[in-house]
Amino acid sequence: MKVMKKIRNDELEPAILDWPVYMQRAIDLAGNSINTSPNPRVGCVLVSDSKIVGEGWHIAAGEAHAEVMALVQAGARAKSSVAFVSLEPCSHIGRTGPCSDALIEANVAIVVIASIDPNPAVAGQGVDKLLAAGIEVVQLIDFDLAARGLNPGYFKRREEGRPYVRCKLAMSLDGRTALVNGESKWISGPQSRSDVQRLRAASSAVLTGIETVLADDPSLNVRLEELKLDPEELALNQLALSRQPLRVILDSQFRTPETAKILEAPGEVKIFGVEALDSAKTPTANVEYRQFEARGKRVNLHSMLESLASDFACTEVLVEAGATLSTAFIEAGLVDELILYIAPKLLGSDARSLLNITGIQSMSDCLNFEITDLRQIDSDIRVTLKPV
Ligand SMILES: NC(=O)c1ccc[n+]([C@@H]2O[C@H](COP(=O)([O-])OP(=O)(O)OC[C@H]3O[C@@H](n4cnc5c(N)ncnc54)[C@H](OP(=O)(O)O)[C@@H]3O)[C@@H](O)[C@H]2O)c1
């Protein structure tokens, strides 16, 4: 049997020098979807005689896969075409049929992929199926990183059994996140808050700590009116946006008031604590209470995240908590991305700090981050960082 070829962009022969353009297009199409959780965002382009004859992307879980959408668009023109797919075509029957079979049936000549699917139900088997059917399969390895970047949570869940965690905080110029009395509405401006809505919409779960629930009574849901998508983006993502991310409260002693707004908004809520559950905590149609293993007297963050990945298929989790829980996540090394909205305001030294990290005695002990994105959002600045 043939094997898959792996090619770098600088190794492309003259006849296929345009392949990176089509692969980039497939990756851009994949990015059309705000949230495909628990599935990956995938894009596909079918090219015949140097013309794009079909394009597709996975819109939302349960909907057609990218390859199927592109094949439908291409119809008979798919025969002998080259298929560019941002992720290895699937080989298993999930909610839809295997895409490798669909490509074989359509008689495509070559399948070009950017990444191998880390899902154990696929993991090279999609490629093997195509090769066994006599189709040439090529991986453009320079696109591997970009394809993984589309789906940080999908890869993290499959490879490490945990979701990708973003921790978002809004702070003043002097690094304060709330007044001494707990008031924090609003440090950042409306456009930054709209940007946070987008982060929520991309997440499988939005997670907070009980003290934020008690202080702010937030809903933590996605609100279309605040999300402010352009009409085309809204139309493309209607289905995904009709599903609210899971809302999770870490509340060791189950103190969440039954009247909390977070319990009222549409969508499911999980309240994770460590105390024995008493009969007064009655689950409702959308609220589940769960007793977790404790670390100290609080919810063990490692096992909680593993449970979000395994029991709730969470891929991308957004932590929107105060300093206490955000610090706990950072100190446990569980934050993959820190997103700071910096508002041009001074709250003064009585106000609460961004984080409560203590015990750093020398510069060699400090926690280091690298800036991966920096932009102005109206009058605020958004900095995205990754731990080094
Ligand atoms: N500026 C911002 O971006 C922003 C965002 C959110 C909130 N805030 C502000 O932050 C303030 C609340 O912050 P906070 O620091 O007091 O509370 P928090 O971080 O929201 O919640 C902390 C609580 O979570 C619970 N918890 C459960 N498991 C935990 C674990 N493993 N590690 C740490 N905590 C765990 C603990 O209560 P139990 O032990 O009872 O479980 C803990 O006291 C409010 O004033 C709010 O307005 C600001």
Q: With contact defined as beta carbons under 8 Å apart, do 150 and 40 qualify?
A: yes
Of 113, 198, 99, 98, which Cα lies nearest the Cα of 147?
A: 113
Cα-to-centroid distance, 204 and ligand 1 (Å): 20
178 lines ligand 1 (CB under 6 A): yes
Phi, psi (degrees; rounded to nearest 5) at 358: -125, 170
pLDDT at residue number 2: 82
Q: With contact defined as beta carbons under 8 Å apart, do 122 and 88 qualify?
A: yes
Q: Which atom of ligand 1 is nearest to the CA of 326?
A: 19
Name the closest-CA residue to atom 26, ligand 1: 250
- pLDDT tens per residue, the chain (388 residues)? 789 999 999 999 998 999 999 999 999 999 999 999 999 999 999 999 999 999 999 988 888 889 999 999 999 999 999 999 999 998 776 655 688 889 999 999 999 999 999 887 777 888 999 999 999 999 999 999 999 999 999 999 999 999 999 999 999 999 999 898 888 888 999 999 999 999 999 999 999 999 999 999 999 999 999 998 889 989 889 888 999 999 999 999 999 999 999 999 899 999 999 998 876 677 788 999 999 989 999 999 999 999 999 999 999 999 999 999 999 999 999 999 999 999 999 999 999 999 999 999 999 999 999 999 999 999 999 999 999 9
pTM: 0.94
179 lines ligand 1 (CB under 6 A): no
pLDDT at residue number 95: 58
Q: How far from chain centre, in Å, is Cα 309?
A: 12
Q: What does the chain come to in residues?
A: 388
184 lines ligand 1 (CB under 6 A): yes
d(CA 155, CA 331): 23
Name the residues annotated as catalytic.
67
Q: Which atom of ligand 1 is nearest to the CA of 274?
A: 41
Q: Which atom of ligand 1 is nearest to the CA of 298?
A: 28
**DSSP strand pairing (205-209 vs 369-377):** unpaired
Domain boundaries, the chain: 5-150, 152-387
Give 313's contacts (C-beta < 8 A, 6+ positions apart): 37, 38, 157, 204
pLDDT at residue number 93: 64
170 lines ligand 1 (CB under 6 A): yes
pLDDT at residue number 293: 87
Of 98, 61, 26, which Cα lies nearest the Cα of 315?
A: 61
Cα-to-centroid distance, 47 and ligand 1 (Å): 51
211 lines ligand 1 (CB under 6 A): yes
Please name every residue paired with 87 in a beta bridge, in sequence order, or none if there are none: 115
Name the closest-CA residue to atom 16, ligand 1: 211
156 lines ligand 1 (CB under 6 A): no
**DSSP strand pairing (5-7 vs 136-140):** parallel
Of 40, 28, 26, which Cα lies nearest the Cα of 316?
A: 40
Cα-to-centroid distance, 320 and ligand 1 (Å): 9
pLDDT at residue number 279: 67
Cα-to-centroid distance, 356 and ligand 1 (Å): 11
**Helices 19-30 and 66-74 sit at what angle, rounded to 10 degrees?**
120
Topology (CATH level 3) of domain 152-387:
Dihydrofolate Reductase, subunit A (3.40.430)
169 lines ligand 1 (CB under 6 A): yes
215 lines ligand 1 (CB under 6 A): yes
Q: Which of 211, 292, 295, 352 to mutate to test the pocket of ligand 1 (most atoms within 8 A of CB)?
A: 211
* Amino acid letter, residue 244: Q
216 lines ligand 1 (CB under 6 A): yes
Region of residue 89 (phi > 0: left; psi between -120 and 50: alpha; otherwise: beta): beta
Cα-to-centroid distance, 285 and ligand 1 (Å): 26
Domain 5-150 sits in CATH at 3.40.140.10
347 lines ligand 1 (CB under 6 A): no
Q: Which of 212, 271, 300, 329 to mutate to test the pocket of ligand 1 (most atoms within 8 A of CB)?
A: 212
pLDDT at residue number 280: 66
Q: Which atom of ligand 1 is nearest to the CA of 356?
A: 15
Q: Long-range contacts for 91-96 (Cβ within 8 Å, ≥24 apart)? A: 91/121, 91/122, 91/125, 91/126, 91/128, 91/129, 92/121, 92/122, 92/125, 94/121, 95/61, 95/62, 96/63, 96/64, 96/65, 96/68
pLDDT at residue number 97: 66
